[in-house]
Amino acid sequence: MVTRIKQKQIAQLINDGKRLDGREFDKHREIKLEIGVIEKAEGSARVFLGDTEVLVGVKVGIGKPFPDTPSEGVLTVNVELVPLASPMFEPGPPNEDAIEIARVTDRGIREAKTIDLEKLCLQPGKTVLVVFIDVYVLNHNGNLIDASAIAALAALLNTKTSKYEIEEGEVKVKPGYNQLPIRNHPIAVTFAKINDKLIVDPSLEEEEVMDARLTITIEKEGKICAIQKGGTGQITKEQIMEAVKTAETKSSEIRKMVVKD
């Protein structure tokens, strides 16, 4: 926990237009990306956002479609806050924080139509491919949402699936692999509101003193595909518009790091 002295220091720095680590208000910490780090997964990636570390593995299995989307594959996102990552994390079922991170990551991917789910259909109404995205937080130093969303996208881009064919009503595995059909690249950008100021990519210490949090996910054409607010503080319309402009710029910068031509 941040001590009262440190809280006052952070607040005073924000009032003076500065941050504890010397960053400008609109600057992310250094982002490092590794792909293909889990041998047994169909796709994987590890992201370092400053000292925050997130690992994502993607598995692809065979399952049934949802009744309302019989010709589409299935996407599911799970987040595990590994106890070794932070003293705040405990073993057991996902808590509210893990559920929120999973939902925000899922919503960005889903609303941007990142995966062409129709191409994952093997037999309409009967058999489809199911994409499991498992997020593991290995070290928590703030802004788990952005780190998880970036790692999830990178892992999806790294994902290959087996080739399947339907023969006499049964699914058969064929030689070779297919790249997961990706058609969009959403990037989440998270802001913290401290003393009526918005800062990008809050560290853990900044998160512990923030009044509110705002995450804006931008797809590759520059359109908003998801917004999530957290915390009890209010965010004005003017601040939201300011955040949208910043998110458009920052998402474009990060996307160039994740998506290789």
% the chain with pLDDT above 90 = 85
Closest by CA position to 11, among listed 192, 143, 145? 192
Q: How many helices (H) and strands (E) does the chain have?
A: 5, 12
Asked, for residue 11, whether it belongs to a domain, the answer is no
Buried-exposed string 135-173: b where 16+ CB fall within 10 A, e elsewhere:
bbbbbbbbbbbbbbbbbbbbbbbbbebeebeeeeeeeee
Mean pLDDT of 34-40: 96
Asked, for residue 248, whether it belongs to a domain, the answer is yes
Q: What is the number of other CB atoms lying within 10 angstroms of the CB of residue 55?
A: 24
% the chain with pLDDT above 70 = 99
Asked, for residue 162, whether it belongs to a domain, the answer is yes
| pLDDT for residue 11 | 83
Is pLDDT at 192 greater than 90 in this prediction?
yes
| Phi, psi dihedral angles at 89 (to 5 degrees) | -95, 135
Asked, for residue 186, whether it belongs to a domain, the answer is yes
Give the gyration radius of the chain's Cα atoms: 20
Closest by CA position to 52, among listed 83, 24, 29, 20? 29
- pLDDT-derived band at 122, boundaries 50, 70, 90: very high
Q: Give the residue with greater pLDDT, 166 vs 244.
A: 244
80's CB contacts (< 8 A; 6+ apart) are: 94, 98, 134, 135, 136, 137
Handedness of CA 45, 61, 40, 94 (dihedral sign): positive
Mean pLDDT of 205-233: 95
**What is the CA angle 83-84-89, rounded to 5?**
30
Asked, for residue 60, whether it belongs to a domain, the answer is yes
Asked, for residue 221, whether it belongs to a domain, the answer is yes
Tokens 């023969």 correspond to 167
Our count of domains for the chain comes to 1
**Which pair of structure tokens corresponds to residue 96?**
């509210």
Is pLDDT at 32 greater than 90 in this prediction?
yes
pLDDT tens, residue by residue, 128-154: 999 999 999 999 999 999 999 999 999
Is pLDDT at 260 greater than 70 in this prediction?
yes
pLDDT tens, residue by residue, 64-119: 999 999 999 999 999 999 999 999 899 988 899 999 999 999 999 999 999 999 99
CATH number for position 153: 3.30.230.70
Give the helix/strand (H/E) hosting 166.
strand 160-167
Asked, for residue 19, whether it belongs to a domain, the answer is no
Give the residue numbers spanning the domain of 154.
24-258
Asked, for residue 15, whether it belongs to a domain, the answer is no
| pLDDT for residue 261 | 64
CB 172 within 8 A of CB 55: no
- Average pLDDT value for the chain: 95
Handedness of CA 120, 146, 192, 247 (dihedral sign): negative
Q: Give the residue with greater pLDDT, 71 vs 168.
A: 71
| pLDDT for residue 170 | 86
User: Helices 96-111 and 144-157, interaxial angle, to 10°?
Assistant: 50
pLDDT tens, residue by residue, 195-218: 999 999 999 999 999 999 999 999
